[in-house]
Structure 1
Amino acid sequence: MFDNIRADLRAYGGNWTKQGFWVMVVYRFGRWRYGIRPSLFRKAFSLAYKVMFRAIQVLTGIELPCEAPVGRNLLMDHFGGIVISGYARIGDDCRIGNGVVIGIRNAGELGAPTIGNNVDISAGAVILGDIRIGNHVMIGANTVVLTDVPAWSTAIGVPAIITSRRTPTE
């Protein structure tokens, strides 16, 4: 847990006052508590996590449940409106702007997006459903993504129009 927190602090430029870093500390604690044995001790840590999760959600406006697997160096630069489903998966070196929603498409569905590595999700973007976002993708501000996005692409618009950022020779 502490190695991950140190890496998160480096990702935030060593600035522990960043709200995204606070969210990551609570997230890492939540993931760490699953390994605590015996279960009686884990329940006490689970209660502490639930209190911290709600407090950080109110303070930062960011909801990142510990059930969602997240890679290293996830950056959430700005306050508020970030909601990530516990069913989503996020890769390494991703950046999420304010007002982003990553979640299920319809009530009753359990499938949420799988986000690849090095993905930049701009402010106000909405990514819904059991879809895959490839590596090195840029998702524009206020874009609504409901279909898969291949690697090295840009998605912009409502609904998203996907264009490649690679030339055939690359």
Structure 2
Amino acid sequence: MNAIALYRVSNYLYKKKVPVLPLLIKYTIFIVFNSVIPYSCQIGRGSKFAYGAIGVVLHSRCRIGRNVIIGQGVTIGRQLDPAGIPSIGDNVYISAGARILGGIKVGDNVIIGANAVVIKDVPENSIVAGVPAKVIKTIEVDIYQLLKNVY
């Protein structure tokens, strides 16, 4: 069993208003994978955690699209503004150690480089990297054609 499967079970139980079990599964994910993956966040179909989601921290209200790969040590959360929760589009690759913070939107078909700190909106079809993250390249093809054998 991996972290995404455990998340899916806890999210299903949460939506069905089953008490206690989603919380127990959340703590199981924390103990086994050293990650915080709340049952209340929204993770789209086909999304995966690389390396079993080791060290991943997600905000309880973040929204993650379909076919997203989240590397180890990634944080998706808010800054000081309590209303500012990130939203991740479809077909996004978030490399190891990246931080996505604040009320921003990451567009579809995006690659976020390793250890990037994303604090501004990311346009569709782009590659971002750096601290703070900046667009370093615009792409015309699906990111999974660039990232061979990743998905």
TM-score, normalising length from structure 1? 0.75
Separation in structure 2 between the aligned mates of residue 66 and residue 78 of structure 1, nearest angstrom: 20
Whether 1:99 and 2:73 are equivalent positions in the alignment is: yes
Mapping 1:135-146, distance limit 5 Å: 135-146=108-119
Unaligned runs of 5+ in 1: 1-15, 17-21, 37-41
Higher helix share: 1
Give the number of aligned pairs: 139
Report the AA paired with residue 103 of structure 1. G
Aligned residue among 57, 60, 65 for 1:86 = 60
Secondary structure of 2:57's counterpart equals strand
Unaligned runs of 5+ in 2: 141-151
Whether 1:32 and 2:12 are equivalent positions in the alignment is: yes
Q: Which residue of 1 aligns with 2:3?
A: 23
Considering only aligned residues, what root-mean-square deviation do their CA atoms show, in Å? Answer: 1.6
Separation in structure 2 between the aligned mates of residue 161 and residue 46 of structure 1, nearest angstrom: 43
Identity %: 35
TM-score, normalising length from structure 2? 0.84
Mapping 1:1-170, distance limit 5 Å: 16=1, 22-36=2-16, 42=17, 45-79=18-52, 80-106=54-80, 109-166=82-139
8 Å Cα contact 2:48-2:68 kept in structure 1 = yes
Point out the structure with max Rg over C-alpha: 1
Separation in structure 1 between the aligned mates of residue 89 and residue 111 of structure 2, nearest angstrom: 11
